[in-house]
Structure 1
Amino acid sequence: MVLTVRVPAATGLALLLAVSGCSSLPNSGPSDSDIGRSAAVQVGNKDRKVGLDYALLDLSAQTLAYFDEPPKSRSLRLGFGGGRGGAPQTVLGAGDVVQVAIFESASGGLFIPNDAGSRPGNFVTLPQQTIDRSGAISVPYAGRIKVLGRTTGEVQAEIESLLANRAIEPQVLITIVNNRSSEVAVLGDVNAPAKLDISQAGERVLDMISRAGGLSTPGVETYVTLQRRGKEGTVLFSELINHPDENIYVRPGDTIYVNRERRTYLAFGASGLNGRIDFEESDLTLGEALGKAGGLLDARADPGQVFLYRMVDRATLQRMRIDVSRFRGTTVPVVFRANLRDPAAFFAVQKFRMADKDILYVANSDSTELLKFLNVVTTVTGSGSSFATDVNVVQRRVD
């Protein structure tokens, strides 16, 4: 007796689907259902929705008017004063190394002996000395002189006055050998971070960065922060170049920190390139961002459904007369939608400025989703037909 087994294609499809759900099939890890069943506690919302409210704005001429202005730049000038005027006066401070020279108009005085004719000049140079923590130096026959916070000219005049009754028409010259109290620290993304002294002529922010070897990062993404006596100001490096009044004079004890803020955006969906992409340029637009992401895939993308996700300042939306009463906080989640089926939209995307950490998403077209479904059906039905054919072959062999 011969057993004949005939399996219709539909039955083969059902068997195939049943086997496909079997845990014995190869897999890279646990499935979503496995993770859900094994969880001791599940916390979530209905339909697994995130539950965050957002506003949807179509990119148009009216919308663009509120977002086509460049972001306001931070400033050093407003925090510490403008770059006009002369350099701040250099004063003596603790830790400075100075040298005092005393001149007399004739020999036989307090410092110049009678045999001065055999000496090269009518002056005496005192040993170098460091201004101590009390802010004083010592000069023979004049005693200890307070110099902290004073200019060399002021100190010279005082020493001359103290020696006037003992020396012959004394003249005093103070030379700063090492100006340790007038140093500025330059740190961060420069080629040679260092602590640098300020010259008598005065130094500006760009001067100090140059002496520290210049930038080691792209200038369009680099910020310069100046810290001074508990105050802090930050400016984009390109602003220092383009606006001289931002290039202010530094003062003793300042700290200059140079920092690159890498600006990026994320690209997802039916674009040529997905992932995190650097701005590189100073003013990247939505059109340029789409180009850097490889443009829209012709076989997948829906040009009418290009989305940009961003946190927008609440005040901006209020100026647009948008009801933001249901949103909390100073920023509102906003999704901008661009319809690139409209030829005029290409002008709009070239004016709409990208912001750091924007998310760009290009949706699939409806036909793409249909093709995905048809591919799955074709693959499964093809496997079902193959299964039925194999059963028939076995049947013939048994016969």
Structure 2
Amino acid sequence: MVLIRTLHIGATIAVGIMTLLCAGCIITPGSGPLGADVQRAKEGSEPAALPYALVKLTPEVVNILGQHIPRLSTAFAAQTPPKAFRFGIGDIVSVTIFEAAAGGLFTSDAGVRAGNFVTIPNQAVDEQGNISVPYAGSIRAKGRTPFEISKEITDKLKARALEPQVVVNLATQNTSLITVLGDVRNAGRFPASPSGERVLDAIARAGGPSAQGYDTWVSLKRMGHRASVPFGALMYEPANDIYVLPNDVIYLFNMPQTFVGFGAGGTQGLFKFDSWRLSLAEAIGKQGGLNDSQADPASVYLYRGETRAIAKELGVDVTQFQGEIIPIIFHVNLRDPSGYFLAQSFAMRNKDVIYTSNSVSVETTKFLVFLRTIMATVNDPIIYATNFFALKAAASGTGTTTIITTPPPITTTTP
């Protein structure tokens, strides 16, 4: 019996030590940190492998982020129609010279002509940017408008021709082109319109998108700078449908926007937007909402990287971070009724991560189940030893013996 007492005392001590150890850490299974763990890591009480900033979702935060949604209208300064067409190297130029009467420099055989004019054979703007006109010599064409070229030719011919007038036209446009590539029906290069056209106009000239619009992105490259927006942004935000300029490159590509849901949401996994824009509230709805028996509505977090400039506007101390992208966790409290309005106004971005923490009561219940399992495991050899000595006493004829089992106990009497 001394041995049994010793085993019981040892089991009690072991359970006590295990309880103390578990008081400082969570050893039960889980899908992520508790809300308190996120707060502690942010405050620096525990070391973190990667520092991050915790930002509470407020109307001010939603307003700041709404001003920084990717837009072509802010990515490119030029938002006015293109200027008058100007020739470039390789363009084919047509020059027609008119004179006031027959017998002039170019119309000596006017009797067999339809009029007092002559059309010079079409010619390309050469590598030096010039064209050649008889009796006028070399004329600068690169970077100039048809009117500017015709005026110079007229001035040079005034002394030799009869009241000359010159018409300069673009025969073939080879330089001021707009390139449309990717997921369109008829990719290619198209002459830029002198009257000006917008991004959607250029895409329409290429036959339009070949896939559904909400998974399509539009990338515009201009003078070494590139910006991309969802195709829907061109349709529903007219400011994004800016004018295209000569030599712009437009590329359409299919890239479904997705986000990842972890934790105590209704479903965990990878989800598609299936639309060009999605709010945080809609994203949580796509997960199936929050798990009523598991989630802590006050601890819903969204993980995202923001630029240093935006992070600074959000009130983050950016001096504590290195690199251009600052890891930020946005915290929304859905126990507060106003939190749902904020979630409805908060726009999701491609590759965002939503994490919903378990309630503290859930973690406590899991720990108690774990503790009960340990106690049962420790008590099994004690029960076995007690029953062994009880049966041994019964066999020796010492009277009444109680055999310990998982309840209820069995009592036997020795005659």
Q: TM-score range by the shorter chain?
A: 0.5 to 0.7
Q: Choose between structure 1 and 2 for higher RCO, CA contacts under 8 A separated by at least 6 residues.
A: 1
Q: How does 1:217-296 map onto structure 2 within 5 Å?
A: 218=213, 222-228=217-223, 230-232=224-226, 240-241=234-235, 247-258=241-252, 262-296=256-290
| 1:245 CA drift (Å) | 5.7
Contact 1:311 1:332 (C-alpha < 8 Å) held by counterparts: yes
- Call closer, same or farther: CA 1:100–1:362 in 2, change over 3 Å: same
- Call closer, same or farther: CA 1:278–1:144 in 2, change over 3 Å: same
Structure 1 CA distance, aligned partners of 2:314 and 2:147? 62
Q: How does 1:76-225 map onto structure 2 within 5 Å?
A: 76-77=72-73, 80-81=76-77, 83-84=79-80, 87-114=82-109, 116-216=110-210, 218=213, 222-225=217-220
The number of residue pairs the alignment matches comes to 322
Structure 2 CA distance, aligned partners of 1:106 and 1:317? 74
| 1:310 aligned onto 2:306 | no
After TM superposition, the score normalised by the length of structure 2 is 0.62
Contact 1:223 1:261 (C-alpha < 8 Å) held by counterparts: no
Instruction: Report percent identity of matched pairs.
Output: 37
RMSD, aligned α-carbons:
4.2
After TM superposition, the score normalised by the length of structure 1 is 0.64
| 1:94 CA drift (Å) | 0.8
| 1:356 aligned onto 2:369 | no
Structure 2 CA distance, aligned partners of 1:119 and 1:80? 52
- Call closer, same or farther: CA 1:209–1:110 in 2, change over 3 Å: same
Note the residue ranges of structure 1 that are not aligned, 5 or more in a row.
Answer: 1-48, 382-399
Contact 2:53 2:316 (C-alpha < 8 Å) held by counterparts: no
Letter in 1 for 2:175: S
Contact 1:100 1:125 (C-alpha < 8 Å) held by counterparts: yes
SS at match of 1:180: coil
1:17-42 CA distance string (max 9 Å, x none):
xxxxxxxxxxxxxxxxxxxxxxxxxx
Contact 2:303 2:354 (C-alpha < 8 Å) held by counterparts: no
Structure 2 CA distance, aligned partners of 1:238 and 1:273? 28
Determine which of 326, 347, 362 is the counterpart of 1:331.
326
Q: How does 1:48-67 map onto structure 2 within 5 Å?
A: 51-53=49-51, 63-67=57-61
- Call closer, same or farther: CA 1:324–1:170 in 2, change over 3 Å: closer
1:218-243 CA distance string (max 9 Å, x none):
36863443412x45566665555566
Determine which of 295, 301, 305 is the counterpart of 2:294.
301
| 1:316 CA drift (Å) | 7.5
Structure 2 CA distance, aligned partners of 1:128 and 1:113? 22
Note the residue ranges of structure 2 that are not aligned, 5 or more in a row.
Answer: 1-46, 378-415
Structure 1 CA distance, aligned partners of 2:309 and 2:159? 73
Contact 2:290 2:297 (C-alpha < 8 Å) held by counterparts: no
The aligned residue for residue 35 of structure 2 is none
Contact 2:279 2:346 (C-alpha < 8 Å) held by counterparts: yes
Letter in 2 for 1:73: I
| 1:310 CA drift (Å) | 1.3
- Call closer, same or farther: CA 1:147–1:324 in 2, change over 3 Å: closer
Letter in 2 for 1:155: I
Structure 1 CA distance, aligned partners of 2:216 and 2:343? 22
SS at match of 1:101: strand
| 1:178 CA drift (Å) | 0.8
1:165-209 CA distance string (max 9 Å, x none):
333322222221111121122334444332221123233333323
Higher mean C-alpha deviation, range 363-372 or range 283-292: 363-372
| 1:120 CA drift (Å) | 2.5
Letter in 2 for 1:287: A
| 1:52 CA drift (Å) | 4.0
| 1:92 CA drift (Å) | 1.5
- Call closer, same or farther: CA 1:161–1:235 in 2, change over 3 Å: same
1:124-167 CA distance string (max 9 Å, x none):
22222111111222222333322222211122222223333333
